[in-house]
A and B are shown apart, each in its own frame.
Chain A
Amino acid sequence: MCLHKVNTIKELYDLYDNIKGLLDIKKGMADVSRKIEISVCGGTGCHASQSEKLKDELIRYAKEYGVEDKVKISITGCFGFCEKGPIVKISPDHTFYIKIHPEDAERIIKEHVVEGKLIEDFLYVNPATSEKIRSQDNIPFYKKQHRVALRNCGLINPEVIQEYIANRGFLALAKVLETMTPQQVIDEMKKSGLRGRGGGGFLTGMKWEFASKYQNEKKYVICNADEGDPGAFMDRSILEGDPYSVVEAMIIAGYAIGANEGNVYIRAEYPLAIERLSIAIAQARKMGFLGKNILGTNHSFDIFIKYGAGAFVCGEETALISSIEGNRGEPNVKPPFPAEAGLYKKPTIVNNVETLANVPVIFLDGAEEFAKIGTEKSKGTKVFALAGKINNVGLVEVPMGITLREIIYDVGGGIKDGHEFKAAQTGGPSGGCITKEHLDIPIDFDNLSAIGSMMGSGGLIIMDDRNCMVDIAKFYLEFTVEESCGKCTPCRIGNKRLLEILTKITKGEADLSDLDRLEELSNIIKDTSLCGLGQSAPNPVLSTLNYFRDEYIAHVKNKYCPAKVCRALTKYEIDESKCIGCGNCARNCPVSAIEKTDKPAKNPRLFVYKIKGNDCIKCGTCESKCPVKAISL
């Protein structure tokens, strides 16, 4: 489809009327017999598992079987069910095939498309009931989800702007430009109660209002796409699956605050997101959604992409601004806030990707409608990247106020391998852990802060009894020590010292006074650091210390790691009653730390083996080589 410039708001409505049927099949609204659409997940996870090749194979086989006219095959954004990827969804009947590889392409075309048969081996099996589920909507993973920010992910082709328009794309912009003043836009945003999804949870409408109040002929809208929490990929998936929403929202934000330039600060290690965003911006420019006099109005706006080099601290808005300006990515003292003196000292708003993705919906459906979702002070939904010891690893969008129990057990499908839930980490390295006792607390900004964690940008890492909480705290601190910019003393040296104390603990070299030092230093770092990174870096330490002090004490006093994670505090042993004396362990031990004893094994001609504790390097080879599982930690 070639792109024509849309000159007026009316032309946009006409265009919408013309093409709104584009998504009918995908939405399941068209006649089954007429045409079939196959959507192949093009999110990073599935992309890495060759979904692009899968799509090509599907196209090839469609030609081979002569059904290329009947079937339309395209890439779409992330379905979120990454655990089971690559995902293929067939519309209009919403058949949901999981774990599909390029070599499965022929079967899909031949059996599903040509012969009209359901391929049962590709269906999701509900582990609880062993029942095979055909339709996406019936899979438990999706049942409690509410997709607002991700509304287009898995629906539209992220490289085809018409599909975005067909799902009411740019109609929010049209409504704003046609019927609302900038102040009305801000009021609507405030009414919606949308809070920043990047971590801080500041009211987006307020932020816009501040920036709108400062008079300046140059103002900036910045989209913060510097997502950096370990294990988080919410923003990345939105940009990969629906870059247009972000573009539309930035234009609206520009109108609201009086800015005509936008910058997307995105990490260079998100090549797919960058590619799709670049396509989206180019298409939007061509169609006149970006540029001078958008849709024939007085509003002019354009968007540029700025690459980040991947420093976590550049997600902090003042550091991000420094980085765009070409300076060292270091935070600066606030005030002045960016709303007053941001990029190049001009009034600037910095909004995160997910925040922006919500904006068009607020104007399409109205702030009141939006505010119906969520809790009293946290409106809307939240996208979480579910990871760790959970069955359904992936991207989920749930209404604010859902409990952690629902996320873990209903959406997430429970803990892996039947283990027991121990804790969940929200807010990434800046957050804290939520324990069993908090499973039923409605998740929103304020409740999470109250229990010593934070919403953060949406990383949600599930831990079970196999995770050592001291080790978890150490992991996060290693991250923040690595990512600290080094500007202020408490963060630069303090966090390093915290990490050193934690390392001592995991090595069994600490004493009880170290725990006091750990706690005091953590509190002082929070109290004195310059930016959010330092102020929140000790959170994982404080929250694990608060909820799992017994584990710390076990490490310090008993020199024992209950989860058997800290290598220095564990040792391999051979169970004499199980050992058959085969000698496999001793032959494979790289440091000859296993010796034969004179005790007869089950087979009286053979003798049981023993590990020499001091020599063992705890590599685990013996455990894996033992045929009777007699060796364990």
Chain B
Amino acid sequence: MVKIRINDIPLEVDEDMSILQAARLVNIYIPTLCYLSLHIVHEHKINASCRVCVVEVKGRRNLAPACSTKCTEGMEIYTNTKRVIRARRTVVELLLSDHPQECAMCEKNTKCQLQRIAAKMNIRDIPYRGEISRPNIYIESAAIKRDKAKCILCGNCIEACSKVQDVNVLTYTHRGFKTFVGPAFDVNLDTTKCVSCGQCVMVCPTGSLSQTVVTNEVWNMIHDPTKHVVVQIAPAVRVALGEEFGYEIGVATTGKIVTALRKLGFDRVFDTNFGADLTIMEESNELIERLSSGENLPLITSCCPGWVKFIENEYPEYLNLPSSCKSPHEMFGAIAKSFYAQKVGIDPKDIVVVSVMPCLAKKKEANREELQNGGFKNVDYVLTTRELADMIQEIGLNFDSLENGVFDNPLGESTGAADIFGVSGGVLEAALRNAILTLEGKCPTLEFKNVRGYEGFKEAEVSINGTKLKVAAVNGLKNARKIMEAIKNGTCEYQAIEVMACPGGCINGGGQPFHKRKMSRTVIGKRIEGLYMQDRSKKQRVSSQNTSIIQLYDQFLERPGSEKAHELLHTTFKSSK
């Protein structure tokens, strides 16, 4: 412990504590831009490059960055002297002098960290005007939109891409005033190893990285009288959308979302959870088959398109391992344009499937050529949680006052097992419930707590029908890489592995509402808890108990793994190395 003084307040802190952390202890606000606490992966990113957090330390020649300067015995720190305020202000003014002044049109308007800091510092004019280093050029991939002009070079995205995800696509290029962040050769992200997880978007303090928006296209479909537009929402959306309308983090607003979607003009409002239950039927069947044949083990889940892209990029020699199941919303789309179309007597060409997802990678996934049947894309448009919130705002709905609606049927029914698809460990847990019920006839334990939570790597041992099974759930692609390396080295002991690309799972996906506390364990933890509450509130908690699913098999698909099921619900992967 060392004794220090901040603004003449005496306090005792740990020796390796930064001035920034110490100041927070006594509620002294020091603005930051490039500092990023990667809470969820137990790391801090300290670039000390933006210089917004500078403070005066007595006896030091120049100002010290609070984020990276450690407290030492007897240190006297001042965070609000004239010298500090002027310097900080100037740094922000300089950033603004090289930043487009188009806040009103920016996706991050009112959520931008630079905007917030400028407002807090009472900046009303930029005294230093001059050349803009990078023109506004938007480079849009299927999922992520880059605007180099808005980049403040904080490096958060690079950190997310490399330290969290180990994808290593984004980096600084050029130098000095011409520096910018991008993939090598500044190409479109679609041509790189980017998996579109969108974690870079989530940590970007400004609007430099944002989602590729399709709301206008969706509006056009809704307003096209010849189209029958069905919408589905992913599990993680229902516990996050409320945040955009002032609800507590993690509160499920499913009923209001359903009503909102009806009011937006969708013809039918369905649930991706139905697709999730269906996925479990197919995937647990696949697991049982692989376990009995002893081939293609471990089975690795393939619901997460970011992860699928990752294994295609990095470990194409192991493409026999991921489950051949399509992801839940794609399964849903395939059923909507076949079974449902027959049932309601609408030509599949007139059916438009829109998915509302917590995810950016799903946007790219929807374009995969394997994900179509009979010449029709399984899913036509993917909206994110944020885009849905924008559409609700756009037509002036008062979200809070909406009545609670219920999903349409038959594609709206789901079990608790489907809800937990949105959290890391959830798919595995749902599959275990189903496999145990299928093989043992009953499933006395429904909760597998060892695989729950936001830790990046979780494992459990379960016994199914007398067979011991070692399973693991990993999240964050850095951990996925570790698992793949273990498989490569022959040191992997698991028979089933669930992988989700985003830390914590889909509830922390690239399409979720922005939060001031980026990558915060608390925020993510609350969303996770929200989904487990959903699970607990359901009468049925094992996928095969879903009556609509039972009917679907009876009337249409015969049984899990049938030829028809394979045609509609399974897919293939290809090496992109």
Contacts and interface: CB of A to CB of B under 8 A. Distances in A.
Contacts of B179: 485-487, 492
B94 A493 contact: yes
B297 interface: no
Contact of B54 (A311, A497, A517, A528): A528
Interface in B23-65: 46-52, 54, 62-63, 65
B177 interface: yes
Contacts of B91: 489-490, 524, 528
B430 interface: no
B70 interface: yes
A486 B177 CA distance: 6
Contacts of A487: 47, 49, 153, 179
Contact of A528 (B47, B63, B70, B152): B63
A517 B128 CA distance: 8
Contacts of B127: 517
A497 B127 CA distance: 10
Interface stretch (B168-176, B200-208, B493-501, B568-576): B168-176
Given A333-B65, A497-B128, A529-B51, A489 B176 contact: no
Interface string A540-564: 0000000000000000000000000
Contacts of A494: 90, 94, 128
A330 B174 CA distance: 12
B480 interface: no
Contacts of B128: 493-494, 497, 517, 521
B51 A486 contact: no
A94 interface: no
Interface stretch (A53-61, A260-268, A476-484): A476-484
Nearest to B173: A328
A482 B176 CA distance: 6
Contacts of B171: 328
Contact of B175 (A484, A517, A524, A535): A484
Contacts of A535: 62
A363 B63 CA distance: 40
A328 B65 CA distance: 22
Contact of B97 (A311, A482, A493): A493
A89 B46 CA distance: 57
B401 to A, nearest CB: 45
Q: Chain A: interface residue count, which band?
A: 20 to 34
Interface string A508-529: 0000000001001100101111
Interface residues of B, number: 37
A487 B173 CA distance: 11
Given A333-B48, A497-B97, A524-B86, A486 B172 contact: yes
Interface string B59-89: 0001101001010000000000001001100
A497 to B, nearest CB: 4
Contacts of B94: 489-490, 493-494, 497
Contacts of B52: 489
A181 B97 CA distance: 57
Contact of B87 (A493, A497, A524): A524
Given A486-B177, A488-B50, A524-B87, A496 B131 contact: yes
Interface string B367-386: 00000000000000000000
Given A497-B128, A527-B62, A485 B176 contact: yes
Nearest to B91: A489
A206 interface: no
Nearest to B130: A500
Contacts of A500: 130-131
Contacts of A481: 176-177
A395 B282 CA distance: 80
A133 interface: no
B413 interface: no
Interface string A159-177: 0000000000000000000
A196 B50 CA distance: 30
A585 to B, nearest CB: 37
B177 A496 contact: yes
Contacts of B539: none
B98 interface: yes
B95 interface: yes
Contacts of B172: 328, 330, 486
A497 B176 contact: no
A364 interface: no
B178 interface: yes
A495 to B, nearest CB: 8
A326 interface: no
Contacts of B62: 526-529, 535
Nearest to B127: A517
Nearest to A488: B49
Interface string A308-342: 00010000000000000000101001010000000
A535 B68 CA distance: 17
A489 B48 contact: no
Nearest to B90: A524
B175 A311 contact: yes
Interface string B164-206: 0000000110111111000000000000000000000000000
A488 B90 CA distance: 13
A530 interface: yes
Interface of B: 46-52, 54, 62-63, 65, 68, 70, 83, 86-87, 90-91, 94-95, 97-98, 127-128, 130-131, 133, 152-153, 171-172, 174-179
Closest 8 CB pairs of A and B: A486-B179, A484-B176, A493-B94, A500-B130, A497-B128, A333-B48, A333-B68, A528-B51
7 contacts: A330-B172, A333-B48, A485-B179, A486-B177, A494-B90, A524-B86, A528-B90
Given A328-B171, A496-B131, A497-B94, 14 more contacts: A330-B172, A335-B70, A486-B177, A492-B176, A492-B177, A493-B95, A493-B98, A494-B90, A517-B128, A524-B90, A524-B91, A528-B51, A528-B87, A530-B49
Interface of A: 311, 328, 330, 333, 335, 481-490, 492-494, 496-497, 500, 517, 520-521, 524, 526-530, 535
